[in-house]
Structure formats: C-alpha cells, structure tokens
Amino acid sequence: MIESSKNFVEIKKCFLPFFQSKEPICFYGWGRKKSGQKAIALAKKYHSNFILLEDGFIRSIGLGVEGSPSFSLVEDDMGIYYDATTPSKLENILNTYDFATDSALMQQADRAIALIKEHKISKYNNAPLELPAYLKSSTKKVLIVAQTAGDASLRYGLASQDPQAMIRDAIVEYPDAEVYVKVHPDVLAGKKESNVDVDYAKAHCKVITENINPIVLLEVFDVVYTQTSQMGFEALLLGKGVKLYGLPFYAGWSLGNVALNVKSEEIEKILKRRDRNLSVEELFAGAYILYTRYYNPYKMRDSDIIDTIMEIIKQRRVEYPKII
C-alpha cells in the first residue's frame, strides 16, 4: 500500500537492523527532503542503493496535506523528476525509451489523456467542475500558476527568478488579454504560503481564489505562465501555449508549444541532456505510465493509470457530490 511521506519514512526504519547484513540493502527516502538525503548518504556509506519516492502525477481525490489516500507513487534510483540539476530515472526513460514501437503503451496513453480531458482529472480531484461566471467571457485570457513557497521543485527546477516577473511579462506581452493568477490549493486550504505575492498580484491583475478544477480552468485560457507547476504540462495536454520560468520535467524535448524564459550556462547544460524530440503524448507515457506506480486504496490492490482514473471518477461522486 502507498503511504504518506511521513509514514513511509517511518516504515523504512525497519531497514536499520539490516545494516550489518550481507544481503543487498536499499535505502528509501522522500525526494529531496531530509529522508531522501539520508537515504543517498546511507547508500553511499554502505556501498548500496537508494530509491527516492514522491507522489505521482495523479495523486488522490482530496489534498495530500489533508490526508486523502494516494493512488500513485514514483520511485527513482537516480534522482527525482523535479530536480533538473541531476539526471533522473524519468529523464533516462524519456531519453532512451522506444515509444515508436510500443503501440500498446501509446494506445494506453491516448486513452488516459482522453479520459483526463473528458472527466477533468488532475493531481488532486476535489475541486468544483464549474467555472465562476467571470471566467466565461470570450476575452483572450492568460493564466499565471502560483505555487507554494519553498516548493522543492522551484529550487531544484532552477526557478530563481522573482515569480512576480511572470505577472509583469504577461501584462506586457499580452496587453489586450485578461491576466489572472491562480493561487495554489494548499494555500487556499490554509496549509501553506504562496510563492507569488498575492497582494502584488491583486494590484496588477486578477486573482483566482476559488478552488477550481485545473483542467476546467485551463480550458478557457489561451496561454499559461508557470515556473515548474504540473499544470503547465496539463496545459500542454490541452494544446495551450506554455511559458516557463523554471525547468520542470517537461522543459526541453523540443516541444513546439513551450517557451523557456530562463537562461544560464547550467540550464544550457541540462537542456543538452534532454536531447530528444518528443511529443506531448510520449512525455505523458513516460511520466504518467512508465515512471509511475499505481495502487487502488479503495480496493487495496495494485492498479494502473486507467483503473486509477476510473476509480477517481467513481469515488469523487461519492465523496464530493456537490462538485459534479
């Protein structure tokens, strides 16, 4: 069963008695948090292996910070997908996997993408599927996706630029459009702080403070600005233009809809590692299917992406009937 990060680290303490064992040892930790750094250090010390864990891209119905059971987990024995500064298992998959000859994988990816679009499936799935009236106009719209302050993906995705720059650039680059900032759901729930200054945003553009399903929201926007948010990739699934101020896993790969607004020698070196032309569908297949493990917490069994989506659709109707 997939555990929360805290519980999973506690479980992995059971490995401690085996340090003196001659059997191979693998140390587990959570991403770039202290437990992940400890797993790497112990693996080096004992000439062994490590696996870093993180939530998958379709995680749960409710928020993880509120204890909603998880459907997915990624396991990485090289790095972690949001850390662009070092290779990861996902980057290796995307660089080497022969997507062209795996028709079964690509058919599964196409079906999953179609279900995501039809049923509005995202990382969290408890947000209302109805747009507020003020977003239903036909005016051109630009969306800036705020994240949580201190998010590891910002640091390791080299998003060092002032996040308010996204607001300033969007206003200049799209003078005839309505510019909106979307506040992160963990911030709306009062669990974390925003990386974008909400007061600054309110003074210069419009701020979305309602909890709205990400796919429903993205459908009415033309362009999306973000640093490293998964919503940028979801925007690509919907055929939207994306402007990046960091290096998430989907940066590079010669995607035509992506504009990169960060530059440095380090970033150039990273982009040279991502030296393959991929489609959005191939990126999806690599990240959401090959890289991710699925588990059905309601039926207590291993799962896959299609079963996960169908179970979320079913259970969402039960747990959040008012959002449908």
**Would you kindly state where each structural domain of the chain is located, as residue ranges?**
127-264
Judge contact between 213 and 124, C-beta under 8 A: no
| pLDDT given at position 19 | 45
pLDDT tens for each residue of 34-46 = 999 999 999 999 9
The SS3 of residue 310 is: helix
The DSSP secondary structure of 85-138, one letter per residue, reads TS--HHHHHHHH--GGG-HHHHHHHHHHHHHHHHHT--SS--S-SS--GGG-S-
CATH 3.40.50.2000 fits 127-264, yes or no: yes
Query: Is pLDDT of 270 > 90?
Result: yes
Mean pLDDT of the chain: 92
> Mean pLDDT throughout 93-121?
98
- pLDDT band at residue 168, thresholds of 50, 70 and 90? very high
pTM of the model: 0.91
Whole-number Å distance between alpha carbons of 222 and 137? 13
- 293, pLDDT greater than 80: yes
Q: How far is CA 126 from CA 120, 196, 309, in A?
A: 11, 23, 13
Determine which of 12-16, 162-166, 187-191 has the lowest per-residue pLDDT on average: 12-16
Tokens 């007061």 sit on residue: 199
200-232 pLDDT per residue, tens: 999 999 999 888 999 999 999 999 999 999 999
At residue 5 the predicted structure's pLDDT band, cuts being 50, 70 and 90, is very low
pLDDT score at 23: 64
Structure confidence at residue 191 (pLDDT)? 86
Distances in whole angstroms, Cα of residue 43 to Cα of each of 48, 92, 182: 5, 21, 40
Query: Hey, CA dihedral for 200, 201, 204, 206, is it positive or negative?
Result: negative
| Residue 22 pLDDT grade (very low, low, confident, very high; cuts 50, 70, 90) | low
Q: Which H helix or E strand runs over 169?
A: helix 164-173
Cα-trace Rg, the chain: 20
Cα 155 from chain centre = 15
Determine contact, residues 286/97, Cβ cutoff 8 Å: yes
Alpha carbons 250 and 280: distance in angstroms, whole number: 9
Q: Each residue of 123-150: pLDDT tens digit?
A: 999 999 999 999 999 999 999 999 999 9
Per DSSP bridges, beta strands 292-296 and 72-76 are antiparallel
